[in-house]
Structure 1
Amino acid sequence: MTDEHEVRRTKGASWKSVYETLRNEILSLVLQPGQLLDETTLAERFDLSRSPVREALIRLSGDDLVVTLANRSTIVAPIEVAIFPKYVEALDIAQRMNTRLAAELRTDADLKIIARRQKEFEAAVKSGNHLVMSEANKQFHMAIAAAGRNPYLASFYERLLNQGQRMLHLHFEYLERTHDGYLLTDEHQLMLEAIRAKDVQRADELAHAHTRQFRDNFIDFMRENYTTDVELGLTQAAE
């Protein structure tokens, strides 16, 4: 797609379409971590004034996808490798608690939604589109959270899943390139079966293993592509 075509496609866009376009580009790593997002350049791209562009950037900041610096320039939020162990620690707790609650409290209607989300994730994997895959993965886990009936835990979990989507793309890329592991579908099915059986302990164990698999593959990706210092920082992730 040419730049000229892109401008024509987005001509007259509202802040919502600017937000959605930039969000997708950030999550799919088309816009790289640390990349400058200049309001004037974006306004020209979308054929808009700077006000709706600024509104879109504010919304993206609320999603922790962009950062405003001291000089008021805006960049794509870095992937903070140094704090990855803390991120995984929080993700593990949220994932286990929401999955445990789902196993305890789920209804038949919940099971149907979770199973449908799992089928959608399997279809997304077959598409090979990482953005579609990460969104489908999020929807699967949020269906589990909804079955847990705790909106506070679910909201915390959703924020963590949003923050981790770019890392999940790297996880997918690593697995596809190395064929070392699998793309979560088997684990999803096992989690669904544990929730269906109301096996709280099994659901907890699977949720924990699910987090570890993501963590270990992301660490392997970073070791393969980045420095020794990064590698040492990541080895502190909790078991």
Structure 2
Amino acid sequence: MYSALRGEILTLELKPGQYLEETALEKRFGVSRTPIREALIRLQSDRLVKFSPNRGHYVETVSFNDVPRILEALDLQQGAVLQLSAARHSAADLAKLRKINEAYRIAGESDDHKGMAELNHDFHLAIADAAGNSFLAEFYETMLNFSIRLSYLMFQSAASNREDFEGYYTQVYNEHAEMIDLISKGEGVKLLDLSRQHSRLFSNRTLRFISEWSEIDSFVTDFQPKAQ
């Protein structure tokens, strides 16, 4: 139940701001109120669900005004997990990363945008696992949860600008491949530089997308992640 709701929130099947009625969830999953509330509490800790005394539980909104801070936090955490993974990875970690990135390439060739978003998410979670720090991994995953929902929002414009997205996802694949190579060699300093480059790639794509929305404040479009 938790996994099902989490997946639907990340892929925007459950929309930001959508009310999560406990009675309806009980009927849907065929369980009592207690496990429903336990799942909602876990989703709150993931920052995917919020609770209001007057409204109950609802899907965490994605405020474009929060995007600069999300990207900044993601940039800082990504650099940390990459450097730790260079020092602590195993052969199994490298094999898992290569498998995910190859699946990402195949999804890109098939124009499977949903698959690409999920595999990109899985790739960075796998790096966090290789870093061997569960506290850092938990914080990093929270930011990744925001980023995958931003990715799904961007896919709404993909069909009208396919060439642009092809170039973007090819670059993502290539940078992931370079990350794997540098992790395998223990190149922590080079990984930090690549991490910044990778963050700029995502932030530029994201901010280019949201700049098309007239309600976004001008400071958002000018944002760039700060160097570490």
- Aligned residues with identical type, % of pairs: 36
**Which residue of the partner structure matches residue 60 of structure 2?**
77
Matched, 1:189 2:208: no
**Which residue of the partner structure matches residue 208 of structure 1?**
196
* Structure 2 counterparts to residues 167-178 of structure 1, below 5 A: 167-175=150-158, 177-178=160-161
Maintained 8 Å contact 1:99/1:207? yes
Maintained 8 Å contact 1:105/1:149? yes
**Which residue of the partner structure matches residue 13 of structure 1?**
none
Secondary structure of 1:214's counterpart equals helix
**Which residue of the partner structure matches residue 186 of structure 2?**
198
Q: Post-superposition shift, 1:233?
A: 3.1
Secondary structure of 1:164's counterpart equals helix
Change (3 A) 1:97 1:220: same
- What is the root-mean-square deviation of aligned Cα atoms in Å? 2.6
TM-score, normalising length: structure 2: 0.82
What one-letter code is carried by the residue in structure 2 that aligns with 1:235? D
Matched, 1:25 2:8: yes
Gaps of 5+ in 2: none
TM-score, normalising length: structure 1: 0.79
After superposition, the C-alpha distances for 1:32-73 in whole angstroms (9 at most, x for unaligned) are 111122223333444554444333322222221111113142
Secondary structure of 1:75's counterpart equals strand
Q: Post-superposition shift, 1:126?
A: 4.5
Maintained 8 Å contact 2:75/2:225? no
Runs of 4+ residues deviating >6 angstroms: none
CA separation in 1, counterparts of 2:98 and 2:159? 24
Alignment length (residue pairs):
221
What one-letter code is carried by the residue in structure 1 that aligns with 2:168? Y
CA separation in 2, counterparts of 1:216 and 1:33? 23
Matched, 1:122 2:105: yes
Q: Post-superposition shift, 1:151?
A: 3.3
What one-letter code is carried by the residue in structure 1 that aligns with 2:143? L
CA separation in 2, counterparts of 1:215 and 1:154? 21
Gaps of 5+ in 1: 1-15
Q: Post-superposition shift, 1:105?
A: 4.0
**Which residue of the partner structure matches residue 3 of structure 1?**
none
